[in-house]
Structure 1
Amino acid sequence: MTDLAYETDHLDLMSTPQDSGLHQLRPVPRISIQAFCETEAVANPIERAGEDRRMAKTHLKVHMGGVAGAVEFYRQAATPNLIILESRAEPKELLASLSQLAEVCDPTSKVVIIGHYNDVWLYRELIRSGISEYVVAPISMADIVSVIATIFVDPDAEPVGRSIAFIGAKGGVGSSTIAHNIAWSMSSLFESEVVVADLDLPFGTANINFDQDPAQGIAEAVFSPERIDEVYLDRLLAQCAERLSLLAAPSTLDRPYDFDAEAFAQIIDTAQRSAPLVVLDVPHVWTGWSRTTLARADDVVITATPELANLRNTKNLVDMLKKLRPNDAPPKLIVNQAGVPKRPEISAEDFAEPLGITPLAVIPFEPQLFGNASNNGRMLGEMDQNSPVVAQINDLAHILTGRREIRPQRKSALAGLLGRLNRKT
C-alpha cells in the first residue's frame, strides 16, 4: 500500500464528486480492480461503475466478504492495482484489521476504503498508513468512478506503469523472446495489463511471436508525435491476449529509421499512463534513442549467452548504465541458451563474477521448445506449461514485478580474464 498526498480541504469526508462532473473525467487506464464488499448497497454501485465507458479498459471484479475476505483471498493470489474494501467496523477495529491486509498486499497496490463512520481522525490515520482514499457510505456509481480517476488519471501524478527494458548483449541471444514470454506471463499470472512495445522497427519479431499482423503500430506514433495521447495509443495497440497488448514494429525496410534521442520518450510515457506494466523490447543497437530509453526505464534486463564476446558487451553495458542511472539499481542479467552441445561456455558463476551481478536465471538451450513456440506464434507457456523453462519464466515475472526477491550472489573467479579483455579493448 502506497502513500498519496492530499489537500487539507479533502478532510470533508462527505464531499464526494457528483454525477454532473463525470463527463469531465478522462478514461481510467488499463488497471485491475477488485472490490470486497459487505453490503449490496455498496457492491451494486461498484458493479455499475465497471460498466461506465470511462472504465472500459479496466478489469473489475466484485466480491463479498469485506476486509476479512480480502485477506483470505490474497493469501493465495496476487493483489491487483487497486483494492476497494467496504467495512462497517468501528474506526479502531478497522485499523486493526487493515494490518492483516498489509501482510498480504503488494507494495504497489493502492487501497480505497469505503467506511460507515464520518470520522476525521480515522481518515487521517488511514492516509498516514498508506490508504489512498477513504469514502463514507452511502456511495453512488459516480463516486466510485471519480475516486478511481482521481488516483489514476491525475495529470500531475506519477505514471501508473513501470517500464522494463530488455536488451541483448549481442544480436541473436534471445532477448526479444525472453521479453515477450515474460510479458505474457505477467499478464496471465497477475491478471495485470501489460503493453509490449517493439522498438526494433526494421527487424522486430514481436508480431511474429504473438501471431499478429496489425495495420498500424509503433511507427505511426513515432512519425506523428504530435498526435500521441491515450486515445491515439488505443488505436495502435493490437490485442494479443486478454490483458496483453502490442505496439508492433512494421518490420519492413521501405524507409530508413533514423531517430533523435527523444523519439520514443513520449509514446513510452503515454503507455506508462495507460497500463501498469510496459515491456520495452530494445534492439541490440547503441544510438541516442536507445541510450535514452535504457537510461530512463524503471528496470533494465540484459540477456546474454555464456560466451566471451557476450561477457565483454555485458560488462560495457553494465558499466555505462551504472553511470547513466547512478541512483537506480544496476541492470539485471539473464543468461540464455546455456548448455549448447559441444560449445565451450563460461559458467554462470564465472560470467557473473566480474559484473558484480547475480543472474536472475540461467535458461538452458531448448531448441525444440523455443522453435515450436516461434513457428506457431505461441508463447512457451501455451506450448508446454509444465516445462522447467516456463517455470523459470514465471519466476522472472515474479521477480521483475517485485513479488519475489533475488537470491544472494554466489562467489566465483574470473577477474583475470576480464582484465585481459580490458587490456585488449
Structure 2
Amino acid sequence: MLFRINIDAFVLTEPVQAALEQAARHPDLGRSNINLVPGGLAAAPTHYGDNTTPQLLIVEEGDDDRTMMENLGRLAEVCDPATKVVVVGQLNDIGLYRELISQGISDYLVTPITAHHIVQAVLSIFTDPSAPPRGRLISCIGARGGAGSSTVAYNVSHMLGKLYDEEVIVVDLDLSFGTAGLAFNVDAQQTVADALAQPDRLDSNLLDRFMARRDDLLRVFCAPERLGVAGEVEQDTLDMVLELVRQMAPYVVLDLPHQWSPWVQAMLAAADDVLLTATPDLAALRDAKNIADAMVAMRGADAPVHLVLNKVGLFPKGELSRKDFEDTIDLKVAASIPYDPGTFVNALNNGQLVAQSSKSSKLIEPLESLGGLVSGRQAAAAPKKGAFSWLTGGAGKPRRRAKKATGKPAKKS
C-alpha cells in the first residue's frame, strides 16, 4: 500500500532520527514527505502556533510523564483535530499508554525503536480496514546470474500451496529472459508486459485472465517469450499491478531478474521476505554480501532476508563452505540445495518441478523448509497494537522499554 502523507517528526535523539530517516526510504512511505525537526515534543506547540499541522505528527519526549502530558496539552491547543499524533518516549508504563490513547493519541512507541516500528505504526493508522487483505510478498533474486534463483522461486511457490492449501501467484519479472512459462509448462496469452502497458484498464478480473493456471492452487503471471516486447518498467505502474495481484492470493512470489535497477530494489524493499540464492563460490559470496548489505540499508536489520546456497557439491574440493558464507555475510544459511543436474534437467524437460518429480529427500527437504520459512506461519504472531483516530481510543501494549536514553540531540536540519 503506497501512502502519500505529509509527516512532521520532532526528534530529540540520533537513534530516533536515524530510524525515521530509514523509514522514509521504505516503499510504503516512498511517496510521503517526512520533515525532521529538532527539539522534540516541547518544540512542537511553538512551531504550530504559526504553521498548519500535517496529516501525521511524530513527537519524541525525553522527560517524565507529567512533563509529557503538559506538553501534549499545549500541542492540543494548536493541533488540527484531523492530525494523527504518535508519541515516542522512554517510559514503558501501561497506565501512561492508556492515558495517551484516551486523550486521542494514535500510538505510543517505547524506545529503542526501528524503522519497522515506525512503518507499522503508520500502516496501522492509515490503512483502510475495509480494504481487501494483501497477500504475503516473497521476492527472489540471485547473487549472480545462473545461481538458480528462478528454480528456487518456482519450487518454493509449489511448496507453499502444498503445505498450506493456499493459492499462490508466481510473477515472472524477468521481462527479457523469464522462464516461468517453461518451468510450469503453461501457455499464457497475455504477460506481465501486457499488464504494464495498459495501466488504465487494470483490475483483478483482467489480471486473472492474463494469468495461466497451473493447478487449483497455483497461477503464473508469465514474462514475454520474445525479446523486445517489454518496455521500460514504470515504478508506479508496477506498484499498481502488484497491489492488485496481492489482493488475489495469500502468497505472491516474485522472480526478479539479476539486475540492480531502482524498480528491482523497490521490489526487494517492499517484500515481506527475500530469498537470496547464491552458489558456493567466491564471486557469489562477494555479490551476495553486497546485496545483503544493501538490503539491510533498504529494509532494516530486522526484515527477513534468507540466504540459500544452491548447487552445493558442484566443486567439492574447492567450493566455499556454509560457514564461509555465514561468517562473511552475517546471515544464517536458510537452506542448502545439493547439486543434482540430472534431476533438475529431467524435471524441466518433462514440464515438472523438482518438488513434484524428485523422490530425493536431500532436494525436497530444503525446499519444503524454505516454503515454511517464508509462509509467515512459523513464528508466533506479534500482538497487535492500538491504532485509532484522534477522537477514539482502544487497548494495546506499548513496545519495548529503553533502559536508558543513549542518543545525542538531533542535529538541526
Q: What is the TM-score with the length of structure 2 in the denominator?
A: 0.58
Partner in structure 1 of residue 152 of structure 2: 178
Deviation at 1:233, TM superposition (A): 1.1
Structure 2 SS opposite 1:164 = strand
Structure 2 SS opposite 1:241 = coil
Structure-to-structure mapping, 1:107-118, within 5 angstroms: none
State yes or no: 1:214 paired with 2:182: no
State yes or no: 1:257 paired with 2:231: yes
Structure-to-structure mapping, 1:181-330, within 5 angstroms: 181-255=155-229, 257-326=231-300, 328-330=302-304
State yes or no: 1:160 paired with 2:131: no
Structure 1 SS opposite 2:171 = strand
Q: How many residues align?
A: 254
Instruction: Pick closer, same or farther for the CA change 1:346–1:225 going to 2, 3 Å.
Output: same
Contact 1:202/1:253 (CA < 8 Å) preserved in 2? yes
Contact 2:175/2:230 (CA < 8 Å) preserved in 1? no
State yes or no: 1:404 paired with 2:382: no
Deviations 1:16-60 (A, max 9, x none): xxxxxxxxxxxxxxxxxxxxxxxxxxxxxxxxxxxxxxxxxxxxx
Q: How well do the aligned residues superpose, as a CA RMSD in angstroms?
A: 2.1
Deviations 1:133-172 (A, max 9, x none): xxxxxxxxxxxxxxxxxxxxx7753743010000000000
2:345 alignment partner, one of 371, 384, 393:
371
* AA in 2 matched with 1:243: L
Instruction: Pick closer, same or farther for the CA change 1:263–1:316 going to 2, 3 Å.
Output: farther
* AA in 2 matched with 1:346: L
Contact 2:142/2:276 (CA < 8 Å) preserved in 1? yes
C-alpha separation between the residues in 2 aligned to 1:259 and 1:358?
33
2:355 alignment partner, one of 359, 381, 405:
381
C-alpha separation between the residues in 2 aligned to 1:297 and 1:227?
25
C-alpha separation between the residues in 1 aligned to 2:263 and 2:177?
17
Contact 2:167/2:251 (CA < 8 Å) preserved in 1? yes
Deviation at 1:353, TM superposition (A): 1.0
State yes or no: 1:353 paired with 2:324: no
Structure 1 SS opposite 2:288 = helix
Partner in structure 2 of residue 95 of structure 1: none
* AA in 2 matched with 1:357: L
C-alpha separation between the residues in 2 aligned to 1:403 and 1:281?
22
C-alpha separation between the residues in 2 aligned to 1:270 and 1:403?
23
Deviation at 1:330, TM superposition (A): 4.2
* AA in 2 matched with 1:168: G
Deviations 1:369-398 (A, max 9, x none): 111111111011321245321122111111
C-alpha separation between the residues in 2 aligned to 1:223 and 1:398?
35
Deviations 1:251-300 (A, max 9, x none): 31134532233342111111111110000000101112111111111111
Deviations 1:303-333 (A, max 9, x none): 0001111111111111111111127424111
Structure-to-structure mapping, 1:35-46, within 5 angstroms: none
* AA in 1 matched with 2:250: P
Contact 1:202/1:257 (CA < 8 Å) preserved in 2? no
Contact 1:185/1:397 (CA < 8 Å) preserved in 2? yes
C-alpha separation between the residues in 2 aligned to 1:256 and 1:243?
28
Partner in structure 1 of residue 392 of structure 2: none
Partner in structure 1 of residue 403 of structure 2: none
Structure 2 SS opposite 1:264 = helix
Identity fraction in percent: 39
C-alpha separation between the residues in 1 aligned to 2:317 and 2:254?
31
Deviations 1:213-272 (A, max 9, x none): 211121111111112211111111110121000100013113453223334211111111
Gap regions ≥5 residues in structure 1 = 1-153, 407-425
Gap regions ≥5 residues in structure 2 = 1-127, 381-413
C-alpha separation between the residues in 1 aligned to 2:169 and 2:299?
23
C-alpha separation between the residues in 1 aligned to 2:175 and 2:133?
25
* AA in 1 matched with 2:338: P
